[in-house]
Amino acid sequence: MKEIKLALVYRDMWQAAGKYVPTVDMLTKVAQPIIDMGCFARVETNGGGFEQVNLLFGENPNVAVRKWTQPFNDAGIQTQMLERGLNGIRMSPVPKDVRKLMFKVKKLQGTDISRSFDGLNNPQNLELSFQYAKEGGMIAQGALSVTHSPIHTVDYYINLADQYIDKGAEEICIKDMAGIGRPVSIGRIIKGIRDRHPDIIIQYHGHSTPGFSVATSLEAARNGADIIDVGMEPLSWGTGHADLLTIHEMLKDAGFSLPDIDMKAYMHVRSLTQSFMDDFLGEYINPKNRYMNSLLIGPGLPGGMMGSLMADLENNVKSLNKWLTKNNKPNVDQEELLLGLFEEVKVVWPKLGYPPLVTPFSQYVKNVSLMNVINKYKGKKRFAMIDENTWGMILGRSGQLLGDLDPEILKMASDQKREFYTGNPQDLYPDELDVYRKKMDEKGWSYGQDDEELLEYAMHPPQYESLKSGEAKKKFEADLAERKAKKATAAGTPVVAAPIPLAGSTNAMPKELNLNVNGEKYNVRISYPTEAAQDNTSIAAVPKAELVPPTLSNDANAKYITAPLEGKFYLTKETSEKGKKVGDVVKEGETVAYIEAMKVINAIAADTSGTIAEILVKHGDDIEEDDQIFKIV
């Protein structure tokens, strides 16, 4: 009877479901009950987008990782993280010295295994990950990002595993991030790897989105997989992962040996997870992500992305309908936009060279497709807007695409005088740790235990600064308050206008909110009746709100450059870049600023020529589509 092991992907469960992850208090509360379940050899604890999300709601991820991994370390359960090769644990490429420090820090924080994947399945980009992981004392696991296309064949993946092992991978993960790997094909891939490498550990990770994952888990086990990743209720299935109970019972019936589940502990973990959703995490989980959807077999979008996609789509629909209403056109609903996106991905993906649909390239394909769909409603042509991150992929700045680019894309690159890159992508991103040491010295900030704060700043500069200033927590709490107020209003219950902070938060309530009312933006200044009233949970503290109407320029002789989409406005995208200023002359078609939206940077091109007379928004402001940005004379 062959033994098979199970790994709980507790971090990925949350990321596949919605926008946020549990706080450190929640994680430490659930750790021991997970251990008590007695059935897990490994638990996925950190990495991927997990730590950036911590920063977004104002929590230091270094504290969270250390406290969360410790109980598993003490119990002898291996901990594993996800890292993105050239991109480390963010969405964009990371300098070599920052990558090296990351593995050292994560091992010292309690992480045993690094599951490293490259968005293009590029062995060259992962060689340093395997080297640095082993130098830091971690187990180097190489992940094959599974996608289904004419060029991603069974033989392609078997040969890719050979290359990963040659580059230093000590284990192999079959990373079926969209759950679209066909069961028999996945079985053949694993058998091919097992035949060539009898002693290597093979782990299968599959999302359940289109419904294949249960059958695939069985095929994986039968063909030589050693470990199967699972989720558990209330966050299994849907865009998440196959459920522990189902996989456990299926494997037992198939004759595999695996530990029993302590069902009392299981129900405790299940109950705690639900309580975390009820606290605030459920506010960011779209109900559609709790269902499987076979329509995703075609576009193959990954489960980890669908959580944030559905949240983004709410804003996209609102923004598009605002434009449609203004132009006397019928509105659309979220379902129509989503189905349009699925169909467009099928068209766009081959044109972009078949990048594996995994972070960050799944986001790039999705974003270009979504912009195409939105622009179609506005009468614009396909590829009217391609973000800067996608251009980086197209031009080879993250490595070479496996498929051929469409002639239309090649012509656009030529017309825009964009240059292709064929060298080692890592060479494009020089070391930066000394830069961030200097910045921290100037600010009087500590590098932290084992240089972990230095790593965090160098890995996520704007988010870390927002954490240190308190701005991240303030924005999160204001957003959560608004969501809970809307939900309460829709349910017909009295609204407690004071924001509901994170568990354990002692931050003061915000004094200012930015709201959108019927398409108009308002700044709301809040004054609370008394501090005592806020502390009394039986009294609804109703703030006084002063609505300050937005100020827009209306000079009849001026022209305006407006926002092509909603997002966060930046004058520059790199610290070395100089932003536009009043008095600068701009030409039509020239890039004048940037908008960060849907996790990518979009260039704002001037649609008119002239001199900048006024800059109407600030660097870092949240803006909406059609907002005036530059006044041009």
DSSP state of 235: S
pLDDT band at 449 (very low <50, low <70, confident <90, very high): very high
Q: How far apart are CA 134 and CA 130, in angstroms?
A: 6
**Whether pLDDT at 599 is above 80:** no
- Is it the case that residue 506 has pLDDT exceeding 90? no
Those residues whose C-beta lies under 8 Å from the C-beta of residue 286, and which sit 6 or more positions away, are 18, 307, 310, 311, 314
CA–CA dist 198, 175 (Å, integer): 20
Residue 411 forms part of a structural domain: no
Residue 544 burial by CB count (10 A; 0-12/13-18/19+): exposed, middle or buried?
exposed
CB atoms inside a 10 Å sphere around CB 595: 24
Please count the CA atoms within 13 angstroms of the CA of 545 that sit on its side-chain side. 14
- pLDDT for residue 338: 86
Task: Write out the residue range of the structural domain in which residue 503 sits.
Answer: 471-548
298 band by pLDDT with thresholds 50, 70 and 90:
confident
185 near 154, Cβ under 8 Å?
yes
Q: In this structure, is residue 353 part of a structural domain?
A: no
> Does 482 lie in the same domain as 461?
no
Residue 385 in any domain: the answer is: no
pLDDT tens for 350-399 read 999 999 888 788 888 988 998 899 989 988 889 888 888 899 999 999 99
Annotate 185-226 with three-state secondary structure: HHHHHHHHHHHHCCCCEEEEEEECCCCCHHHHHHHHHHCCCC
> Length of the chain in residues, anyone?
633
User: Do 463 and 533 belong together in one domain?
Assistant: no
Domain closes at, from 548, 574, 608: 548
Alpha carbon distance, N-terminus to C-terminus of the chain: 79
Task: Give the pLDDT confidence score for residue 576 in this predicted structure.
Answer: 62
| Angstrom distance (rounded) from CA 162 to CA 166 | 6
Same domain, 122 and 67: yes
Helix-, strand-, coil-residue percentages of the chain, each rounded to 5: 45, 15, 40
Provide mean pLDDT across the span 275-299.
86
Q: How far apart are CA 558 and CA 455, in angstroms?
A: 46
- pLDDT at position 1, please? 78
- Cα(170)–Cα(238) distance, integer angstroms: 31
pLDDT at 543: 37
Q: Which helix (H) or strand (E) holds 468?
A: helix 461-469
Cis peptide before 360 (omega within 30 of 0): yes
Boundary-marking domain end, from 290, 321, 341: 290
Q: What phi and psi, each to the nearest 5 degrees, are found at residue 57?
A: -100, 15
Residue-wise pLDDT for 158-211, tens only, equals 999 999 999 999 999 999 988 989 999 999 999 999 999 999 999 999 999 899
Whether residue 212 has pLDDT greater than 50: yes
Tell me: do 257 and 184 sit in the same domain. yes
CA atoms of 21 and 276, how far apart (whole Å): 9
Q: What pLDDT sits at residue 428?
A: 93
Mark whether 121 and 254 lie in a shared domain. Answer: yes
- Res. 546: pLDDT tops 60: no
pLDDT (mean) for 515-540: 41
| Final residue belonging to a domain, choices 548, 572, 606 | 548
Residues 6 or more apart whose Cβ sits within 8 Å of residue 524 = 512, 513, 514, 515, 545, 546, 547, 548
Domain count for the chain:
4
The answer to whether residues 465 and 481 belong to one domain is no
Cα 417 to Cα 385, 386, 395, 546, 601: the distances in Å are: 16, 15, 11, 50, 19
| Average pLDDT of the residues of the chain | 87
597 pLDDT band, cuts 50/70/90, is: confident
Q: Which residue has the higher pLDDT, 493 or 100?
A: 100
Is the pLDDT assigned to residue 544 strictly greater than 50? no
Q: Exposed, middle or buried by CB within 10 Å (0-12, 13-18, 19+), for 108?
A: middle
Residue 539 and residue 599 in one domain: no
537 lies in a domain? yes
Given a cut of 70, whether residue 518 has pLDDT beyond it is no
And the tokens for 478? 């204001």
pLDDT above 60 (res 31): yes
Q: Which residue has the higher pLDDT, 527 or 271?
A: 271
Q: What is the pLDDT of residue 537?
A: 30
Dihedral pair phi/psi, residue 570, rounded to 5°: -135, 135
Give me the percent of the chain exceeding a pLDDT of 70: 88
Q: Look at residue 605 and tell me if it is in a domain.
A: yes
Give me the pLDDT at residue 304, please: 58
Q: Based on the domain organization, do 132 and 165 belong to the same domain?
A: yes
Please enumerate in sequence order all residues whose Cβ is within 8 A of that of 445, keeping only pairs 6 or more positions apart, or say none. 453, 457, 468
Report pLDDT for 513: 53
Q: What are the residues whose beta carbons fall under 8 Å from the beta carbon of 28, sequence distance 6 or more?
A: 67, 68, 71
* CATH number, position 599: 2.40.50.100
* Domain containing residue 68: CATH number: 3.20.20.70
The 10s digit of each residue's pLDDT in 112-134 is 999 999 989 999 999 999 999 99
Q: pLDDT tens for residues 305-338? A: 665 667 677 778 888 898 899 889 999 998 898 8
Does any domain span residue 316?
no
Side by side, the strands of the sheet bearing 544-548 are 512-517, 520-527, 544-548
The answer on 617 and 499 residing in a single domain is: no
- Please state, in angstroms and as integers, the Cα–Cα distance from residue 564 to each residue in 320, 526, 561, 603, 629, following that order: 11, 31, 9, 9, 10
In a domain, residue 365? The reply is no
Same domain? 517 vs 574:
no
Q: Which of 480, 460, 457 is nearest to 20 (CA)?
A: 480
553 domain-assigned: no
CB 512 within 8 A of CB 526: yes
**Other beta carbons within 10 Å of 376:** 14
For residues 377 and 467, give the distance between their C-alpha atoms in angstroms, rounded to a whole number. 38
pLDDT given for residue 404 in this prediction:
94
Q: How far apart, in whole angstroms, are the C-alpha atoms of residue 629 and residue 633?
A: 13
pLDDT of residue 299: 75
Per-residue pLDDT at 97: 98
Tell me, yes or no, whether 92 and 226 share the same domain.
Answer: yes
Same domain flag for 197 and 125: yes
Could you give the CA distance from residue 369 to residue 298 in angstroms, rounded to a whole number? 14
Of residues 372 and 525, more confidence is placed in 372
Q: Where are the beta strands (DSSP E) in 223-277?
A: 227-230
Nearest to 305 by CA among 89, 87, 49: 49
Dist CA 230 CA 251 (whole Å): 12
